[in-house]
Chain A
């Protein structure tokens, strides 16, 4: 393919002191084409959020290679690099500073990067996510969960990034609000030619939003497939099959089959 938007090669992340480190991500490699939406799906502890943090620059203790538009990203990012990769977080209640007005929250990235027309940009960012000017001088606790998530998206978009990292963006939202936010994200991607890396535990959301999906388990990328393959059940790994089946809902017959419980990891 042409230069992938994001190219990750043998990414590994460990936590803890050097002599006693725990590997959380093992040699993960994948690529995302420009304008594509790629989903990373897995259960808790699989390392998907850790990968996002490494790509975003929040976590600098990784080894391997991360390239954006063909250019390597170092663990420490430049201001320009920060502009091109932004992130939307899972918890709408925790991702906005409780003491800042929406206006201040949106204006801050502009101030950090020295961009002009602060007023106009903030106004447009809010309109882009379907919020009017009435929200500008409110505080986060005066907004609903869905509105806060829209502000979080506006904040991520205001710097005009090319790659958007989405960490379970709708997991904490009600079903009816989830649909609105997913539609908004899809519109933004289409209108601006953005590239998405979406992380979720919800297969239905991932299959809806993404063209390709990577299934992760315990720090490893188990398999990659297209969303269509996922829907049709054309998957290779037994784990993926189980994940798919469990996502459909509860099935008495299927539950009987799994009589050997995985001995769950004890902390």
Chain B
């Protein structure tokens, strides 16, 4: 019956009293979660900004007015105008186009770091929390070692060892961020571990692997998701910091942090070189923070 649903029936399918299939049940839950999310205007604004970032990155060639790498020394250090919306930098490149193309780099960093740290931190944390004993001790001491170093310093050390460049920056940032996720997942796991539903699974004869993957991990995912979003702000800033120090994406790549660095010298007389990439970093970081807060309000399993 649920196979042939006409388009106008979608709303009815999502709000039906009785779900006919697992898919429908999950879709309904996601739908109500979405409605709850919509009630938070700031979180919605954050989401919109991030979606806009994605669109800008996707359609960069059409949005940018100039070639971001094209230098024109005759047009250097021009203030914002109708020809160059954000002005030009010290070698005549259009700053607006560079900010637009820079969104691709930012998005790439955010995405790559996200898909590295969240799963790794989640698995390490849940295994440590569920197994306990020596496994827990070994994994947590490893985590502690990484946590002992300040983020930027550790990233610097790795990049110094691996060499500058975008990919190495991503690896370095990931290495500094995963321990936080592991700690978080472990804390959640310790709470979940003593639940009756885990006991029920054990009595049924479920293996530890099954319990961790099907029972523990789903309970940890909401807080990991929230933390991922909140961390992204920090990731962008770390990437900007690395770029600022010349250790991230290399010139002439339009990475926002690098643009900040090169624009710093001209800040007093030619404010537009550093301000626009700086604003972009600010807005995107803020958006991730707001999104994270909104997600937390919706996803907190304790409140359901």
Number of residues from A at the complex interface, CB < 8 A: 36
Query: Which of A10-18, A25-33, A105-113 is the contact stretch?
Result: A105-113
Q: Which of A83, A91, A134 contacts B196 (CB 8 A)?
A: A91
B205 touches A155 (CB 8 A): no
Asked if A96 CB lies within 8 Å of chain B CBs, one says: yes
Q: Would A112 and B204 be within 8 Å (CB), given that A95-B196, A99-B219 are in contact?
A: yes
Contacts of B197 in A (CB 8 A): 94-97
CB distance from B14 to the nearest CB of A (A): 13
B205 touches A137 (CB 8 A): no
Within 8 A of A (CB), among B161-220: 195-197, 199-206, 210, 214-215, 218-219
B205 touches A83 (CB 8 A): yes
B210 touches A112 (CB 8 A): yes
Contacts of A86 in B (CB 8 A): 203-204
Residue from B196, B199, B201, B304 having most chain A Cβ neighbours under 10 A:
B196
> CB-nearest residue of chain A relative to B204?
A109
A82 touches B304 (CB 8 A): no
A137 touches B199 (CB 8 A): no
A97 touches B215 (CB 8 A): yes
Contacts of A58 in B (CB 8 A): 199, 202-203
Contacts of B205 in A (CB 8 A): 77, 79, 82-83, 109, 112-113
Q: Would A108 and B25 be within 8 Å (CB), given that A98-B304, A99-B219 are in contact?
A: no
Asked if A145 CB lies within 8 Å of chain B CBs, one says: no
CB distance from B126 to the nearest CB of A (A): 14
Asked if A236 CB lies within 8 Å of chain B CBs, one says: no
CB distance from B164 to the nearest CB of A (A): 43
Contacts of A95 in B (CB 8 A): 196-197, 199-200
A159 touches B301 (CB 8 A): no
CB distance from B113 to the nearest CB of A (A): 26
> CB-nearest residue of chain B relative to A135?
B18
- Complex Cα gap A53–B22 (Å): 32
Asked if A139 CB lies within 8 Å of chain B CBs, one says: yes
Asked if A243 CB lies within 8 Å of chain B CBs, one says: no
Asked if A103 CB lies within 8 Å of chain B CBs, one says: yes
Contacts of A79 in B (CB 8 A): 205
- Complex Cα gap A139–B29 (Å): 9
> CB-nearest residue of chain A relative to B197?
A97
CB distance from A24 to the nearest CB of B (A): 17
Contacts of A98 in B (CB 8 A): 219, 301, 304
Within 8 A of B (CB), among A76-133: 77, 79, 82-83, 85-87, 89-91, 94-101, 103-104, 108-109, 112-113
B196 touches A137 (CB 8 A): no
B22 touches A137 (CB 8 A): yes
Asked if A208 CB lies within 8 Å of chain B CBs, one says: no
Contacts of A82 in B (CB 8 A): 203-205
A89 touches B200 (CB 8 A): yes
Contacts of A94 in B (CB 8 A): 195-197
Contacts of A100 in B (CB 8 A): 218
Asked if A141 CB lies within 8 Å of chain B CBs, one says: yes
A99 touches B196 (CB 8 A): no
Contacts of A234 in B (CB 8 A): none
- Complex Cα gap A92–B165 (Å): 54
Asked if A75 CB lies within 8 Å of chain B CBs, one says: no
Asked if A57 CB lies within 8 Å of chain B CBs, one says: yes
Q: Which of B25, B200, B203, B301 contacts A138 (CB 8 A)?
A: B25
A108 touches B203 (CB 8 A): no
- Complex Cα gap A85–B203 (Å): 8
B204 touches A134 (CB 8 A): no
Q: Would A108 and B201 be within 8 Å (CB), given that A95-B196, A99-B219, A139-B29 are in contact?
A: yes
Q: Mark B23-41, 1 if CB is under 8 A from A, else 0.
A: 0111001000000000000
> CB-nearest residue of chain A relative to B18?
A134
Q: List 27 A-B contacts (CB under 8 A).
A: A56-B203, A58-B202, A77-B205, A79-B205, A82-B203, A83-B205, A87-B200, A87-B203, A94-B195, A95-B196, A96-B197, A100-B218, A101-B25, A103-B22, A109-B204, A112-B205, A113-B204, A134-B18, A137-B18, A137-B19, A137-B22, A138-B19, A138-B25, A139-B25, A139-B29, A152-B200, A155-B200
Given pairs A98-B304, A155-B200, 18 additional interface contacts (CB within 8 A): A79-B205, A82-B204, A82-B205, A86-B203, A87-B203, A89-B200, A91-B196, A95-B196, A97-B197, A97-B215, A99-B219, A101-B19, A101-B25, A108-B204, A134-B18, A137-B20, A137-B22, A152-B200
Across chains A and B, which 4 residue pairs bring their CB atoms closest together, nearest first? A82-B205, A137-B19, A95-B196, A137-B25
